[in-house]
Amino acid sequence: MIAFFNGEFVSADDPHINLADRGFCLGDGLFETIRCCNGKPFRWDRHWQRLTGSAAFLKINLPFGESDSRKLAEGLLARNKQSDVILKINLSRGAGQRGYSIRGTGEATFAMTVHPAPPITETDPLPWRLRTASYRLQSTDPLRRHKTTNRLINILARAEAEEVGADEALLLNERGEVAEAASANVFWIRDNCICTPSLSAGALPGITRAYAREWATEAGFESREETLAGENLHGVDGVFLTQSSLGIIEVAELDGRPLSSSKQTTQIRRSWWNTVQRETA
């Protein structure tokens, strides 16, 4: 497999991270996960906009602009002769002195890799089972709005869910409100309204989250951000997750109890898949 690392296309086995790299030492970096079909990244511009916004927030200088980076990404897909994969972008502040100060930091580390994409069709993936995590997000933490490489709460929550046979973890904030899942945004359907937590609840501004809200408006459904206690998900008409890798994922179970299924989830899942195929054709 070929990777792109700091300006060069190399074997994915070749790059060596400097032991002083702050991404390795401190989690001082960002990442993006992009679904690619037909040899093209889906909604590259939105992923890049989020990456550049977060890089500015963290005061990390990107070594490449959007146009060059997209050409490099598509070149990477072509070199690997892969058309349907997951493209991973990693950005680190680079090597620096020991400690927290960013003074004297060198050039940023920039890497792109490709990974096998989970199989998906208009009817996949199968519904997931959620487990409410014992860990809580802090809704006022400004880093919750950025895809930093330090995702320890998400990692521990996912491990906790998998230990009891669940597919994914539901994360609540300090007030017990639904914030997000470990690797996805959360939506629920109630009275033909497509609802999701606001970013102020601790949710990440997901790319597929934005797609779901746009779809709801275009399809004639009400779409709104709403506050919901975690236990109240059992009283809604349907629950689904959104993420870049798999798109729209129905949730069938929460904490061992079944959840209602909604036809709107099927509609939006098919719409997302058709949009991916059309925009990358």
Give me the domain span that covers residue 148.
Answer: 128-279
B/e letters for 115-132, b = 16+ CB within 10 Å, e = fewer, are eebeebeeeebebbbbbb
CATH of the domain at 202: 3.20.10.10
Band the pLDDT of 118: cuts 50, 70, 90. Answer: confident
| Count of all residues that appear for the chain in the document | 281
Own/partner contacts of 149-155, CB < 8 Å, gap of 24 or more, are 149/23, 149/27, 149/28, 149/29, 149/30, 149/31, 149/90, 149/92, 150/26, 150/27, 150/28, 154/182, 154/183, 155/182
Q: Retrieve residue 96's tokens.
A: 């620096």
Position 16 confidence tier, pLDDT thresholds 50, 70, 90: confident
In this structure, the answer to whether residues 94 and 158 fall within a common structural domain is no
Q: Is the pTM of this model over 0.85?
A: yes
Q: Is the pLDDT score of 62 beyond 70?
A: yes
Q: Would you say 177 and 227 are in contact if contact means Cβ atoms under 8 Å apart?
A: yes
Is residue 177 included in any domain, yes or no? Answer: yes
Q: Which residue's structure tokens are 């746009």?
A: 214
Distance CA 135, CA 153 (A): 7
Query: Token pair 């997209």 is at which residue?
Result: 70
Co-location of 139 and 103 in the same domain: no
Mean pLDDT rounded to a whole number for the chain: 94
How many domains would you assign to the chain?
A: 2
Read off the pLDDT band of 126 (50, 70, 90): confident
Single-letter amino acid code for the residue at 216:
A
Q: How confident is the model at residue 123 (pLDDT cuts 50, 70, 90)?
A: low
How far from each other are the two terminal CA atoms of the chain, in whole angstroms?
24
Question: Which pLDDT tens digit goes with each residue over 171-219?
Answer: 999 999 999 999 999 999 998 899 999 999 999 999 999 999 999 999 9
pLDDT digits (tens, 9 = 90+) for 74-90: 999 999 998 889 999 99
CA 202 to CA 89: how far, in whole Å? 23
Asked if residue 142 has a cis previous peptide bond (ω within 30° of 0), the answer is no
Tokens found for residue 78? 């072509």
Q: Are 263 and 219 in contact (CB under 8 A)?
A: no
Domain finish residue from 116, 137, 170? 116
Task: Render pLDDT for 30-54 as a digit per residue (tens, 0 to 9).
Answer: 999 999 999 899 999 999 999 999 9
Residue 258 lies in a domain: yes
- pLDDT computed for residue 121 by the predictor: 66
CA 33/CA 112 separation, integer angstroms: 10
Same domain, 100 and 190: no
Q: Are residues 92 and 141 in the same domain?
A: no
Average pLDDT over residues 220-240: 95
- Among 83, 116, 149, which residue terminates a domain? 116
What Å distances lie between residue 87 and 21, 55, 201, CA to CA?
Answer: 22, 18, 28
Q: Name the token pair of 246.
A: 């798999």
Dist. CA 167–CA 188, nearest whole Å:
18
Query: Per-residue pLDDT averaged across 42-70, rounded?
Result: 96
pLDDT-derived band at 120, boundaries 50, 70, 90: confident
Give the domain CATH number at 26. 3.30.470.10
Q: 155 with 270, same domain?
A: yes
> In this structure, is residue 122 part of a structural domain?
no
**Could you report the per-residue pLDDT of 240-266, keeping only the tens digit for each?**
999 999 999 999 999 999 999 999 999
